[in-house]
Amino acid sequence: MHLGFLTIYWRDMIRFYRFKTLLISSLVQPALWMAFFGIAMSANFNRLTSDIPPLPGVPSVDYLTFMAAGVIAMTTLFTSLFGGMSLLFDKNWGLMREIFASPLPRNHIIFGIALSGMTKSFIQSIIIMVFGIIIGAQFFFGYSAIKTLLAVLGILLFVAVFSLGFLFLSAAISISLESPEGMQGIMTLLTMPIFFASNALYPINAFPPALQAISMVNPLTYLVTGIRYFAIGDNFQAIGIHYSYTPLQIGLAFLFLIGFATVMFTLAWWRFRKAVVT
Amino acid sequence: MSENIISVKDLYHRYGDFTAVDGISFDVKEGEIFSFLGPNGAGKSTAINVLTTLLPLQEGSATVAGHNVAEDPQKVRESIGIVFQDVTLDRDMTCREILDFHGNLYRMPSTERRKRIDELLALVQLENKQDTRTKQLSGGMKRRLEIARGLMTRPRVLFLDEPTIGLDPQTRMRMWDYIKAVNEEGTTIFLTTHYMDEADHLSDRISIIDKGQIIITGSSYELKNTLGEDLIYLETSDMSGTIPILSGMELVKEVRKKSKGLTAMLDGDGTKILPRIIETLSAEGIKVSVVNLKKPSMDDVFVHYTGRELRDEGAEKSSSAITRAGRR
């Protein structure tokens, strides 16, 4: 088996580690989201929903626990969408020529970059889980050690497939563009609807039908669903809404993410075969 | 396997309406240093990009190290090393990491990789910089590291695209020594340059390329010899009268008018012919005001065949002028 993608992976991880500002900001930023947005919003939501009578017999979780899953998903989205950006810099600084003129198959560039983006998302997800639990998110509540471990693996599996999808997309965009500014613009344009037309921070039940339809084809919704299933459980209520998942639903959500990643890889592969770097 | 390590036939390359490479054919022999000499925009880099498989082959045929560029780019990539025109080093990697990364791209086994890195760092005298990040290297060191990288996989052909652009005179001459040393170890070198002295000093054979076409190919000696043995530059009181007189003289090969004076190409020893020219002219009542006798240079060859000066730009010109003066 050709392990060329590990070379690309290794180089990208060196850079991640050496750019101290990038390293530190990417580790601190998700924690800050939890600390500020999480605590502030959770105080509000808990007050607003305090007079809604809880459903009897259904375990209830507070808003912080509810949104912590969303923060993991959001961080993975951002990190993955920007993960391909280093390809654009490599291209603009001429570094891509060395790689394109070498015998390394081009799909290994995509795999290498995707793998390093995935690693970063893993690190961030774990930080958010740990930090979230510290400030009071009730993740893995009442789980045994084995069950907690399996739940964490389940979350990482969802994060992995989701991040691959968006990393492939990001790689496809970067190899097709000339300017980092253009990339920045496209990313901002993409993150807005993906993030807000999802169940990351609030339930989608009250959305108008059009927005609800968008959220149903939004990969972020499926990632958040997967994370909540593993971190909170298959039957709980939050902000007055009852959530229950069957294993089939979770399996379909996972399949949806795999489908999304496959389509995005095809797109990236096509862009890479077309790409001319001189 | 033929002795030609690069063979190009009727190569064309167009960007939209613009023809960058306009039907070139040439061969490079195994073991030689071959140069493309021409101004910026002559099509040198485009040609090199096609040969190194970075650009697709549009028209014509090209083989490198026995492999067809269009049909078997993978094999071509495995056989060549490249030093690009501008610095292509990751600023945040160390010298050793740069070479290690490159060896990995070519799937070199790790023991061989380590050994080769040590060898090459010694060759380009960067052993004590091996753990330094490339952003802290000087321009000459970066270039040396890039040459080491180009040699990492023991390529059969090393492509050097303007290897000494932007380097100071001493560093350029050191680079030439490295390039020669590498060539003596058996690597064929294909080099593009717009420095006359570089082509002249390094190459076994030179192709002068202009506007996408090869004007003439030969060794430096052969090219200069096409202009005769010596060149005489004259300014006289009656320029239009001087030309027919000179043209009729024995051993004068060709006379060309310049902006102020004229150049005569000689088929004999200029030191002996020049006094005769001055005598003959004064016998006709023409006074010689300026005279210069010299051996033909690559500049003269270039001007002769393209009809114009090499479009050499600003800072680069002054630095090449200094080395030229230093060597003469």
Interchain CB contact of A95 with B (< 8 Å): yes
Strand, coil or helix: what is B158? strand
Q: Which residues contact B321 (CB under 8 A, 6 or more apart)?
A: none
Under an 8 A CB cutoff, do A4 and B107 touch?
yes
Over the stretch A217-233, which tens digit does the pLDDT of each residue have?
A: 999 999 999 999 999 99
Residues in A 191-210 with any Cβ partner in B closer than 8 A:
none
Strand, coil or helix: what is B184? helix
* Residue A1: per-residue pLDDT: 65
Strand, coil or helix: what is B297? coil
- Give the mean pLDDT of A22-34: 86
Over the stretch A73-98, which tens digit does the pLDDT of each residue have?
A: 999 999 999 999 989 999 988 889 99
Phi/psi zone of residue B221: left (φ > 0), alpha (ψ -120 to 50 degrees), beta? alpha
Cα dihedral across residues B49, B51, B54, B58: positive or negative: positive
Question: In percent, how much of chain A has pLDDT > 70?
Answer: 100
Interchain CB contact of A247 with B (< 8 Å): no
Token pair, residue A191, equals: 């993150």
Interchain CB contact of A15 with B (< 8 Å): yes
Query: How many angstroms separate the CA of residue B122 from the nearest CA in chain A?
Result: 22
* pLDDT > 50? residue B322: no
- Write down all domains in chain B, each with its CATH number in brackets: 4-223 (3.40.50.300), 228-295 (3.30.70.260)
* pLDDT > 90? residue A100: yes
* Residue B319: per-residue pLDDT: 39
pLDDT band at B313 (very low <50, low <70, confident <90, very high): very low
Question: In percent, how much of chain B has pLDDT > 90?
Answer: 46
For residue A99, the chain B residue with the least C-alpha distance is B105
* pLDDT > 50? residue A128: yes
Q: What values do phi and psi take at B296, rounded to 5?
A: -65, 140
Interchain CB contact of A93 with B (< 8 Å): yes
Over the stretch B130-178, which tens digit does the pLDDT of each residue have?
A: 999 999 999 889 988 998 999 898 899 999 998 888 788 888 888 898 8
For residue B78, the chain A residue with the least C-alpha distance is A103
* pLDDT > 50? residue B317: no
Q: Which residues of chain B neighbour A94 with C-beta distances below 8 Å?
A: 84, 86-88
Query: How many angstroms separate the CA of residue B115 from the nearest CA in chain A?
Result: 19
For residue B101, the chain A residue with the least C-alpha distance is A7
ipTM of the complex in this document: 0.87
Nearest CB to B77 within list A14, A15, A102: A102
Token pair, residue B120, equals: 């090459």
Q: Answer yes or no: are the C-beta atoms of A11 and B90 closer than 8 Å.
A: yes
Under an 8 A CB cutoff, do B107 and A95 touch?
no
Question: In percent, how much of chain B has pLDDT > 70?
Answer: 93
Q: Answer yes or no: are the C-beta atoms of B25 and B61 closer than 8 Å.
A: no
* pLDDT > 80? residue B18: yes
Under an 8 A CB cutoff, do A18 and B92 touch?
yes
One-letter identity of residue A63: Y
For residue A274, the chain B residue with the least C-alpha distance is B56
More confident residue, A223 or A17: A223
For residue B153, the chain A residue with the least C-alpha distance is A102
- Give the mean pLDDT of B95-107: 94
Interchain CB contact of A14 with B (< 8 Å): yes
* Residue B324: per-residue pLDDT: 40
* Residue B321: per-residue pLDDT: 41
Q: What values do phi and psi take at B177, rounded to 5?
A: -60, -45
* pLDDT > 90? residue B23: yes
- Give the mean pLDDT of B265-274: 87
Rounded CA separation B141/B70 (Å): 35
The lowest-confidence range among A231-235, A238-242, B100-104 is A238-242
**Nearest alpha-carbon partner for B264 in B191, A138, B280:** B280
Mean of all residue pLDDT scores within chain A: 91
Mean of all residue pLDDT scores within chain B: 87
Under an 8 A CB cutoff, do B88 and A11 touch?
no
pLDDT band at B325 (very low <50, low <70, confident <90, very high): very low
Q: Answer yes or no: are the C-beta atoms of B116 and B106 closer than 8 Å.
A: no
Token pair, residue A258, equals: 């795999």
* pLDDT > 60? residue B34: yes
More confident residue, A70 or B2: A70
* Residue B170: per-residue pLDDT: 85
Token pair, residue B31, equals: 């073991």
Q: Answer yes or no: are the C-beta atoms of B23 and B47 closer than 8 Å.
A: no
* Residue B309: per-residue pLDDT: 65
Q: What is the DSSP letter of B286?
A: P
Q: Which residues of chain B neighbour A102 with C-beta distances below 8 Å?
A: 77, 102, 105-106
Q: Which residues of chain A neighbour B80 with C-beta distances below 8 Å?
A: 101
